[in-house]
Amino acid sequence: MSQMSKEDALSLPRHRHACHVMLYADTDSKLFGRYQTKHIVLMQMRFDGLLGFPGGLVDLSKETLESGLSRELEEELGVALLVSPEDHVSSSLAPAVPNLITHFYAKKMNESEIKEVEKAAVTVAKDHGLEVLGMVRVPLYFFKRGGGLPAFLSNSFIGSARSQLLSALQSFGLVSQQELAKATQQANQ
């Protein structure tokens, strides 16, 4: 992933820009009434069968990165979430797509707000069943025989979504560095 500052990215002529966001929350809920799940992290199953984050292409002649991201979230989630410049995490050249820069954001919410997003995504979102096949929560725990996070990481992801997820899980303290190393190692087996 070739990272650059948002300012440098915006100064590049002729590049297209896409913005995506990781929505996350703390939770007390327990799997099977026993295992603390601790955090909710939302991703989506895309039309192309790949996992990714909600968001999409923005048109800088008409909108800012953040307002374009809000427009995409309205289409894909059915809720016009405000994402602010402070929610920006990283900008990088997209792998495999020439002249595309992807900007990654993360926004912390309450569990009840996340549930509202999940509900709206299947009821009012115009992209539901088309560009977006469904929202998914990332299992952040470990289960028998590589289940949980290692199995999730073995799926196929769009662009840099997998590495964006891993670095966000680490930098926001949602999974320890030790557990992340274990998860990526088990995922690659």
Instruction: Find how far residue 32's CA is from the centre of its chain.
Output: 26
**Position among 22, 138, 158, 168 found at the interface with ligand APR (CB under 6 A):** 158
The residue range among 6-14, 52-60, 134-142, 173-181 that interacts with ligand APR, by the rule CB under 6 A, is 52-60
**Position among 40, 43, 69, 94 found at the interface with ligand APR (CB under 6 A):** 94
**Position among 56, 68, 78, 148 found at the interface with Mg ion (CB under 5 A):** 56
**Position among 57, 60, 80, 130 found at the interface with ligand APR (CB under 6 A):** 57
Radius of gyration for the alpha carbons in the chain, expressed in angstroms and rounded? 16
Shortest Cβ 170–ligand APR spacing (Å): 16
Which is closer to Mg ion, CB of 56 or CB of 139? 56
| 78 is an interface residue for ligand APR by CB under 6 A | no
Site for ligand APR, rule CB under 6 A: 18, 20, 52-53, 55-57, 72, 94, 97, 100, 102, 131, 158-161, 164
